[in-house]
Amino acid sequence: MSGTTRSSADLDPRRRRLLFHAWHRGTREMDLLLGRFADETISDLTDDELEAFEALMGVPDPELYGWLAGSAPIPPNWDGPLLRRIISFHTPT
């Protein structure tokens, strides 16, 4: 079981692939961080945000987890609006 609470039936193939990949990262922590974000936002992401999300899917789990958890600095070339949006999504207000 992936953990997703969202159906992908109404998504185009690109969004469907990203939703699947977000829930199948390789580590449960990353599945939960990226999968929950994708469940809530995948249908509303712009083309630029989809492109950024696709790029983030290529970052190794330990590196990306460090950025999201705040335990490692975000390199300037990765520090963009989508990554900040993912961090904000998981930050209690």
- Domain ranges in the chain are 18-89
Characterize 10-31 residue by residue with b for buried, 16 or more Cβ atoms within 10 angstroms of its Cβ, and e for exposed: ebeeebeebbebbbebeeeebb
Spatial CB neighbours of 34, under 8 Å, sequence gap ≥ 6: 22, 23, 25, 56, 57, 86
**pLDDT at residue 41 in the model:** 94
Spatial CB neighbours of 50, under 8 Å, sequence gap ≥ 6: 14, 15, 18
What are the pLDDT digits (tens) for 31-59? 999 999 999 999 999 999 999 999 999 99
Name the class of domain 18-89: mainly alpha
What are the pLDDT digits (tens) for 52-84? 999 999 999 999 999 999 999 999 999 999 999
